[in-house]
Structure 1
């Protein structure tokens, strides 16, 4: 078992696994959950929280996307293709969630010495360790023609399969990654390209990605072997267990339930206003 990056080493890791139950949840709950846990972990000592989450067909827009001149037409296009549409509470642009897109949030107490780049690099190293069959073939760097391009896109042979984001709230750090496990990466990219074709009809105040679907792929497409949600959950649990003194299950406390309700209400109001 590989050694996880020093930035992620904690005496204890707590796990909230929503890789199955998330399929019946409104995805807005995931963003509210991460904000809640980020606040909580900031008050903990030598403890990290890992939350896994998978949702049914949803396109998550960035705030900039929601301000496109023909956003209603873009949202209608996505809904006609069977996707729910929400706006996230953080930066970034449109991404696709579906039953074979795996999301992992690693949350841990903020450390004065841990820069934003170091947080990203820790997730890059962790992901390479999760997939030893790819290892150093996984490259980090922007894939400009992908959807939601960023400095810490992960790709193999120029095919993007993952993107990383980061959020810091009240002494806690949340580093989040989506991993396209199965199905066609190009088909997901084609969906988002179609969204921009409709939604960006008119004067646009920011540069949205000029998507080339062939630059995106799933891990199953890349490796030639089927990689499942359950398998990735197992790999994550084994990695955390092997690199900490204790691993346990995290459920919301009454106080966290209150904070979760607060963050969820904010998400709902934002979506009512922007969509």
Structure 2
């Protein structure tokens, strides 16, 4: 069982803050960056990494979303509403990214004692540290009616504000969280609800797409009943982890990682294009 204190205390974490710069680059780069960093951590050329990222309005579809019978109509609907559309290569279903959504990745070396649930529990416990003053307990269970539902949906009072995902590659494990910080969680959910309505037209599908109930989704500022911004979450993150004994070292990609990133980015782009043109046009 992973101990949060042991993971954080007396360890030096490379810190990549792309919470501002990410608004200006392709979200596919984030997937390639985490794959790049997983490889470095897995081979031992890098210590553990913590990376924050925020992107401009983007709908990130899962591979299964591409199996909806009228998915191209759904994609057109999302684009009409100001969202670019990409397909991720990992599990899960559609989520939305925008300037009020904070994404955080913890990347560490995989080992035989580190179970999938350990990775999820680690992120859940980190969130409980960062938001120790939350207006209610932060629970982890699937929120029925949410978009991209999963067993580690994070909620307060039954309102989902975050989802956790995980990717393991080349000996590295990336645990990632999607955190709705500001604006309306239910409005985001309404958009994806309509996407599924348009993309399915109520016809039988090859997978059970989520029947979204917008009222079960909220942002942290809605839950706290006070304004909250990305910078507030960054401050909470860095100060809380330092208090737990973590050493945080601002960093950037090494020359070798920049070269490796080009390779991973090309692969991510090719997979995305294949999904958009093949999976989404069966």
Q: CA deviation at 1:169?
A: 1.0
Residue 127 of structure 1 corresponds to: 127
Alignment-derived partner of residue 79 in structure 1: 79
Matches within 5 A, 1:151-230: 151-201=151-201, 202-230=203-231
Deviations 1:189-235 (A, max 9, x none): 00100110111234410011000000000000001111111111122
Summarize deviations over 1:231-263 as a string: whole Å, max 9, x none.
111221223333346321221112211221111
Q: Note closer, same or farther for the CA distance 1:261–1:46 as it changes in structure 2 (3 Å cut).
A: closer
Residue 273 of structure 1: how far off its partner (Å): 1.9
Evaluate the alpha carbon distance shift between residue 200 and residue 245 of structure 1 in structure 2; reply closer, same or farther with a 3 A threshold. closer
Determine the C-alpha separation between the residues in 1 that align with 2:252 and 2:46: 18
- Cα distance between partner residues in 2 of 1:32 and 1:46: 16
Query: How far off its partner does 1:7 sit?
Result: 4.0
Tell me what 2:280 maps to.
Answer: none
Q: After superposing the two structures, state which structure 1 stretch, 208-217 or 236-245, moved more.
A: 236-245
What is the 5 A alignment of 1:15-34? Answer: 15-34=15-34
Task: State TM-score, norm by structure 1.
Answer: 0.94
Contact kept in structure 2, 1:65 and 1:93, CA below 8 Å: yes
Q: CA deviation at 1:45?
A: 7.9
**Which whole-Å CA distance do the structure 1 matches of 2:109 and 2:10 have between them?**
9
Asked whether the 8 Å contact 2:9–2:246 carries over to 1, the reply is no
Cα 1:7–1:207, aligned 2, differ >3 Å: closer, same or farther? farther
Q: 1:7 to 1:116 in 2, by over 3 A?
A: farther
Distance, in Å, in 2 between the alignment partners of 1:177 and 1:245 is: 19
- Equivalent residues of 1:8, 1:122 under 8 A apart: no
- Structure 1 residue runs without a partner (length 5+): none
What is the alpha-carbon distance in structure 2 between the residues aligned to residue 245 and residue 257 of structure 1?
A: 26
Give the SS at the match of 2:43: coil
Moved more, 176-185 or 201-210: 201-210
Q: Deviations over 1:47-106 (max 9, x none)?
A: 310000000111100011122111110000000000010001100000010001000001
Distance in 2 between residues matched to 1:162 and 1:22, nearest whole Å: 19
Farther off after superposition, 152-161 or 238-247? 238-247
Structure 2's unaligned 5+ residue stretches are 277-282
Contact preservation (8 Å) 2:36, 2:261: yes
Name the Cα RMSD after superposition.
1.7
Distance 1:136 1:172 in 2: 34
Measured in 1, the distance between the counterparts of 2:246 and 2:209 equals 45
Give the whole-Å Cα distance in 1 for the aligned partners of 2:45 and 2:26: 31
How many pairs does the alignment contain?
A: 273
Gap change, CA 1:132 and 1:273, over 3 Å in 2: same
The alignment status of 1:40 with 2:40, answered yes or no, reads yes
Deviation of 1:118 (Å)? 0.9
Aligned ranges 1:231-270 → 2 under 5 Å: 231-244=232-245, 246-270=247-271
In structure 2, the partner of 1:58 is 58
Q: TM-score, normalised by structure 2?
A: 0.92
Indicate the SS of the match to 2:174. Answer: strand
Tell me whether 73-82 or 107-116 shows the greater mean CA deviation: 107-116
Contact 2:8/2:244, CA 8 A, preserved across alignment: no
